[in-house]
Structure 1
Amino acid sequence: MTAPDPADLRAAVWRAAAELFARNGYPEVTIRAIAARAGTSPALVMKVAGSKEELFHRTATISAPVLPDVPLSRLGPALVTELVDRQRRGDLEHLGRAMILRVNAPDPECVRAKFLSGYVEPLTRLLEGPRPELRAELAVAALLGLATTLRFFESPTLLADLDAAEAAYGPIVQRLLDGA
């Protein structure tokens, strides 16, 4: 039997850890679970990745989806459409992932900083006019609220009519972005 390529093993461990931390939160994830997901032993996980906390810091990335390439006047509805489309596909919700990571993180401040730099700062850079930081934070807060209501609370009325939710919520996010 040949030994696994260290780079492949490391990538498998990091991928497994990222998925598990995003779905279950820090306290619920064990080295044993990461090893099982990566198809290796707990000892090898520790050898290639270090401690659970080191693994968390390496893999608990906050990466917002790329902002839609639309005019600023249509950005709110486009952001809501992307969020609703992720819900329809059953894709991992980036905003929800960020929330789970922050709540259970061994270093919540680090996750907070990653969230702000990944979500709020790119949006702030797009906005013109007064108080762009506030407007960006309000829009992200509104999106986080919708994502949480859809994904975590599985709101039956919203889930039953995602088209109506999208049509109603897009203009709300746009008003926050516009500062109106």
Structure 2
Amino acid sequence: MSRDTSCAWTVRPTPIGPLLLAATAAGLVSVVFHADARVTRRALVRLEAGLGLRPRRSAEDALLARAVRDLDAYFAGELRRFALPLDWSLVSGFTERVLRELAASVPFGSVVGYRELAERVGEPDAARAVGAAMGANPLPVIVPCHRVVAADGGIGGFGGGLETKRSLLALEGVLPAPLF
């Protein structure tokens, strides 16, 4: 990515808590859960280090506005597939291969096991590495790491917290909606 590319960001309230969204000219580059002031500050420092440029707050960036509209539609049950341009600058190698496969092949309302996803990228013994790739996903929700589950029927781990993962899976009809 060119060093002169800008990075815009905003925080959007959602049913799973505030999400920090960041975009470059290439596409959406980061989604961060639980974006209170402290988390946002830390995320912006990581973005600056990872991209080599200073993110600027913007409510007027066209790609961020589109991401906000798409997320609103997703949480309202009106959008099942994100078609936003993505900037993969913050990942590479195995992690990027796994995340691209996940985004391309695990649709709304379905799940995949860690081992099966490892097999799909040609690394059948790399289920644990797939778990690490999910933890390194800079674009959760958009690149749906919440759809990756444990082989024993459990929901596995999740960087946004298990309650967030349960909420996303319930929204997609994979799990029953919480009663309270």
Structure 2 length as normaliser, TM-score? 0.30
Q: Which is bigger in relative contact order (C-alpha 8 A, separation at least 6)?
A: 1
Structure 1 length as normaliser, TM-score? 0.30
Pick the structure with greater CA Rg. Answer: 1
